[in-house]
Amino acid sequence: MRRTAVHSSPVHGRGVFALTPITAGEVLFEYKGALLSWKEAQRRYERSAAEDGHTFFFDLGDGRMIDGGQGGNSARWVNHSCAPNCETEQKGSRVYFYALRDINPGEELFIDYRLFVEGRRTRALKKLYQCRCGSRQCRGTMLAPPDH
């Protein structure tokens, strides 16, 4: 029985939605895709026609990325929220999504992207990574807070 489905999101593009009740702490899925170096991910991004700032790359923090756009699964469609109902946990080169709280059928699944970018946080950069989550806790950006 499928527990999630991908369809249009009111937040951004496509999103992942619960089809069945999900219990807090439950593992939902693994982020799948091709494992590549940061350098190769950069090359692929530059050659792609991706919307600015939009990729399916998941940074493993060790110079490697998972490219969910190649061999990926529905996890690549999980959108950002400043008030997420899911979180990721990395185990080696694998990344798992799990529920932070009970999730009802029909709810969209979200993680807090907390993206890191190099350089100054210009107005253009902030606009590029503007948050559309609409939560009361919204910090206005998908970027990690400056103090992290």
Q: Which residues contact 83 (CB under 8 A, 6 or more apart)?
A: 110, 133, 135, 136, 137, 138
pLDDT tens, residue order, the chain (148 aa): 899 999 999 998 899 999 999 999 999 999 999 999 989 988 887 777 655 556 799 999 999 999 999 999 999 999 999 999 999 999 999 999 999 999 999 999 999 999 887 778 888 888 888 998 999 999 999 998 876 5
What pTM value is reported for the model? 0.90
Give dist(CA 92, CA 80) in Å, integer.
23
CA–chain centroid gap for 111, Å, is 6
First to last CA, the chain: 39
